[in-house]
Homo-oligomer: A and B are copies of this chain.
Amino acid sequence: MNKLDWVDKRNLSMLADFYEFTMANGYLENKVSHKIAYFDMFFRNIPDDGGFAIMAGVEQLIEYLKNLRFSDEDIEYFRSKNIFNEKFLDYLRNFNFTCDVWAVPEGTPIFPGEPIVIVRGPVIQAQLVETMILLTVNHQSLIATKSNRIVRAAQGRDVVEFGSRRAHSYEAAILGARAAYIGGCVGTANTIVDRDFDIPALGTMAHSWVQMFPTELDAFKAYARVYPDNCVLLVDTYNTLREGIPNAIKTFNEEVLPRGYRPKAIRIDSGDIAYLSKEARKMLDDAGFSDVGIMASSGLDEYIIRELIEQEAAIDSFGVGERLITARSEPIFGGVYKLTAIEDNGEIVPKIKISENVAKITTPGFKQVYRLFDRDTNKSIADVITLHHETIDDNKPYEIFHPLYTWKRKRVTNFYAKKLLVPIFNKGQQVYESPNIHDIKKYCEEQIDTLWQEVKRFEKPHEYIVDLSQDLWNIKDKLLKENQ
């Protein structure tokens, strides 16, 4: 049960935009392919106008980079295009990944403008991996971020990922469930995710179960006899209050209790869930089942869950499907991959991309990100993007300043600084082992605890501070002026 078996078997090296290959071929033809280039992956906007996003996908990124290779069939495919040089095809045939890669560990809160992945290496290689790096990290960060919003809205109630059937194909279901777990869901409905990622698969019954038996009561009893120790009944196939719940109570009394178990829960999947759950609660309590939970599903997301809780819906756990697995309210995580520097005779030359859209101007140079934490409260104070070799000495005060309104300055004291980017490949060799998924989930929760409530607000959250170091700011300012 090698959990990444399915990634290994299916080599995704060809999952790259075609221009990665035409550029690679062009770099080789122009004798610049060996030049050392630096690329940053970063994103510009937090989905749903949230206060932070969550990094995810590093484990799959590592698997991809470890397995980069091109088969004879791939070479033949390129040859058939009649635009690639044989020398380039040879290069692909003998492809050997030699880049350095840094990434922010999964589960870390991340903010716009910060590099979250950095690749350094021959431009021919560093360019080729663009599509898969973006695809992998964009998708899982999107879902982890969304999942965490929903989990926070549920205020301690369990949230289970239920969305496979509406996912954007197979890995959107599988890796989406993985990311949802990192973001705080307690489990998934998807069996393969349990088998391959050790994330608990949970499930009850579909309406079809109820329809397969002569009556709803027959169906409930049949289920309870097979699963008396884990009896969750779906009560809305016909009429929730008039039939579903009374039949569930009857089943609990006649089939579950006599077998020495307590029933687990009922599930409501349609109708007005606030009203139905409150009525159901009363009926269950009156029947002596105040320990039996009520699970709600059907079109839920963080907005609806917040309202349901405001309306005192009597719901103990939520099954969240399509709006989680597609991140419906904002299904795009807009990470980009930009050249930030090249090496010339061993010297790092920062590069910038200017744009008529100010928001699309890149920050040049080879970087690191430091997060400053308050020593007393352990709360995150600010992130500072620095040049890679800079260190922030947390034994003395450190002045941060707004990169645009540079007169806005703040002297930070009594803090400790942590580097966010860690090496994952060194000269093409993997130097980082992904933590297990449960540890990632736990780490994510801990790291989110370091954020102030104001950053976690759903509406107009406080904008977390992400500044540039003075040295990095100077380089950017100089390049901007030169390119005017």
8 Å CB contact of A168 from B22, B169, B213, B335: B169
Tell me the bound Cα distance from A213 to B35 in angstroms.
11
Q: Which of A195-203, A431-439, A452-460 interfaces with chain B?
A: A195-203
Contact between B138 and A166, CB atoms less than 8 A apart: yes
Chain B CB within 8 A of A116 CB? no
Which of B171, B211, B323, B354 is A351 in contact with, Cβ under 8 Å?
B211
Interfacial chain B residues near A166, Cβ < 8 Å: 134-135, 138, 332-334
Number of residues from A at the complex interface, CB < 8 A: 109
> Shortest CB–CB separation between residue A129 and chain B, in angstroms?
11
B23 touches A165 (CB 8 A): no
Q: Does A19 contact B (CB under 8 A)?
A: yes
A9 to chain B, nearest CB (A): 5
Copies assembled: 2
**A135 pairs with B169, CB closer than 8 A:** yes
Q: Which of A186-231 contact B (CB under 8 A)?
A: 189-192, 194-195, 201-209, 211-213, 222-223, 225-227, 230
Contacts of A212 in B (CB 8 A): 27, 32, 35, 37, 123, 339, 342
Is B23 a contact partner of A357 (Cβ separation < 8 A)? no
Closest CB of chain B to A168's CB: distance in Å? 4
Given contacts A16-B191, A270-B357, contact A165 B331 (CB under 8 A): no
Binds B, one of A234-242, A305-313, A405-413: A234-242
Judging by beta carbons under 8 Å apart, are A206 and B168 in contact?
Answer: no
The interface-forming segment of A102-110, A173-181, A394-402 is A173-181
B15, B26, B30, B339: the one contacting A192 at CB < 8 Å is B15
Contact partner of A239 (CB less than 8 A), chosen from B12, B326, B354, is B354
User: What is the bound-complex CA distance between A189 and B22, given in angstroms?
Assistant: 12
Question: In angstroms, how far is the closest chain B Cβ from the Cβ of A195?
Answer: 5
- Complex CA gap A29/B228 in Å reads 13
Contact of A356 among B240, B323, B335, B357 (CB under 8 A): B240
Query: Smallest distance from the beta carbon of A295 to chain B beta carbons, Å?
Result: 12
Please tell me which one of the listed residues B1, B167, B204, B356 contacts residue A139 in the complex, with CB atoms under 8 A apart.
B167
With contact pairs A135-B169, A206-B23, A222-B30 given, residues A14 and B191 touching in the complex (Cβ less than 8 Å): yes
Q: Smallest CB-CB separation from A165: which chain B residue? A: B134
List B contacts of A206 (CB < 8 A).
Answer: 19-20, 23, 127, 130
A166: min CB distance to chain B, Å: 5
Q: In whole Å, how far is A125's beta carbon from the nearest beta carbon of chain B?
A: 13
Q: Is the CB of B237 within 8 A of A354?
A: yes
Q: Does A39 contact B (CB under 8 A)?
A: yes
Within 363-422 of A, Cβ neighbours of B (below 8 Å) are at none
User: CB within 8 Å of B: which of A119-151?
Assistant: 123, 127, 130-131, 134-136, 138-140, 142-143
**Closest 8 pairs between A and B when the two form their complex, measured CB to CB:** A19-B203, A18-B203, A169-B171, A134-B165, A168-B168, A168-B172, A208-B339, A18-B201
Subset of 11 A-B contacts with CB under 8 Å: A1-B76, A15-B190, A17-B191, A18-B189, A18-B203, A127-B206, A139-B167, A139-B168, A169-B171, A212-B339, A322-B334
